[in-house]
Amino acid sequence: MIDIEKIRAETPGCQRVLHFNNAGSSLMPTPVFDALQRVLRDENEVGGYEAERRAQDDIQAFYTEFAGLLNANPDEIAYIENATRAWDMAFYGLDLRPGDRVITHESEYASNYLAFLQQSRRLGFEIDLVPSDEFGQIDVAALDNMIGPKTKLIAITHVPTQGGLINPAAEAGKVAKKHGVLYMLDACQSVGQIDVDVVEIGCDILSGTGRKFLRGPRGTGFLYVRKEILDQIDPPFVDLHSATWTEANGYELADGARRFQNWESYIAGRVGLMEAVRYARKVGLAQIEARVAQLAASLREALSEIAGVEVHDLGCKKSGIVTFTKDGIDSRVIAETCRDLGINVSVAPITAARLDFEARKLPAMVRASVHYFNTDDETDRFANVLKQA
Ligand SMILES: *Cc1c(COP(=O)(O)O)cnc(C)c1O
């Protein structure tokens, strides 16, 4: 059981706002904020390199904490400044050629799809869309059928940004493995709210961010790359940390996933994100997952009982992201009204996932994303505001 009172006491933001924007950027717990402050204070008082030296143990713990969280090895983890660049460092390094095929899904995140478009123009590969099943998630049987000799990559999003859908990542992993196709998972919205295990999922590459359900600082992210496939990716950028200049005309890439890292980085953020992972693991990922699902389900139920409100979430099993619209009111106006009342939600616009919005003919939706520190009182309060809106 999660001790909600203790958790909320360690989340000062809870006293000020009703925070349903955890898919945007969550509220940091006190130990995370303390870690950030500790490193920044050291940078101010003794110097940046010296502060880094003091933080050595915490910096090393970044890799072991993430390895523990994801069931990976520490040398399969890289710190990267956000999820988009983490994903890019892998994707832009793949050897994709004219005629190759990349499989993705309608729910794919905009930044990833933009990268598919950009790289397919440059390299000449084709983009295939796996159809959805009756729940709106990836149709795993169709995925199995559409893989051909030219299929080089399956790249999908675990929990899309624009709704409650949870794609069947592990089932897709089995298909990828069966065909020997590289499998890349955008886990930006799932790590921190779902118990994500890279071995169980069977992905080769996984990316995520710090600020969302992990409750870490902004401007932080991470990348997992399975050891066995490291050499299939040529990092799109190298520097004197990710590679060693061994002779005038030669270099060697660093071992493990650290070849994808920048040398210069936000040390306080790295330590803060490590602390966020440590915190989440103490609370327990299975407990977090269960509570988030329960809170989101009761929020969906309360919202769907309100006249004029339509909940748009797809999926068989649903995430903590709740999206809806209300007849006759622009979603942006709802979000502004909420903000005036100290309630944080965001708006999911078509540009976040154009294929999905177009297929479902959706307007911009209000996105209310719950986390385990939220309460039933808060979902009730929010539903009442919506009733009156
Ligand atoms: C937010 C998000 C991203 C981008 O994360 P950044 O840390 O902002 O780069 C990628 N994919 C999905 C599904 C997201 O929701």
The closest-lying atom of ligand 1 relative to the alpha carbon of residue 85 is 9
Q: Ligand 1: which residues within 6 Å by Cβ?
A: 82-84, 109, 111, 157, 160-161, 186, 188-189, 209, 221
| Full pLDDT tens readout for the chain, 389 residues | 899 999 999 999 999 999 999 999 999 999 999 999 999 999 999 999 999 999 999 999 999 999 999 999 999 999 999 999 999 999 999 999 999 999 999 999 999 999 999 999 999 999 999 999 999 999 999 999 999 999 999 999 999 999 999 999 999 999 999 999 999 999 999 999 999 999 999 999 999 999 999 999 999 999 999 999 999 999 999 999 999 999 999 999 999 999 999 999 999 999 999 999 999 999 999 999 999 999 999 999 999 999 999 999 999 999 999 999 999 999 999 999 999 999 999 999 999 999 999 999 999 999 999 999 999 999 999 999 999 98
H and E: helices and strands count for the chain:
14, 15
Ligand 1 atom closest to the CA of 82, numbered from 1? 7
Beta bridge partners of 69: none
CB of 259 closer than 8 Å to CB of 339: no
What does DSSP assign to residue 32? H
- Centroid of ligand 1 to alpha carbon of 382 (angstroms): 25
Of the candidates 307, 337, 317, 320, the residue with the CA atom closest to the CA atom of residue 372: 320
Give distance in angstroms: CA of 246 to centre of ligand 1: 36
> For residue 250, how far is its CA from the centre of ligand 1 (angstroms)?
35
Q: pTM for the complete prediction?
A: 0.98
Domain boundaries, the chain: 4-27+284-388, 31-282
Residue 106 pLDDT = 96
Query: What pLDDT score does 366 carry?
Result: 98
How far, in Å, is the centroid of ligand 1 from the Cα of 112?
9
β-partners of residue 104 are 129
Is the fold of 4-27+284-388 the same as that of 31-282? no
Between the CA of residue 112 and those of 146, 188, 212, what are the distances in Å? 21, 12, 18
For 42, 161, 207, 258, 385, the CA distances from 349, given in Å and listed in that order, are 41, 10, 22, 35, 22
The whole-number pLDDT of residue 389 equals 85
- Yes or no: domain 4-27+284-388 corresponds to CATH 3.90.1150.10: yes
Return the exposure string of 212-231: e unless at least 16 CB atoms fall within 10 Å of the residue's CB, then b. bbbbbbebbbbbbbbeeebe
Looking at the CA of residue 209, tell me the nearest atom of ligand 1: 7
CA 152/CA 313 separation, integer angstroms: 31
CATH number given to 31-282:
3.40.640.10
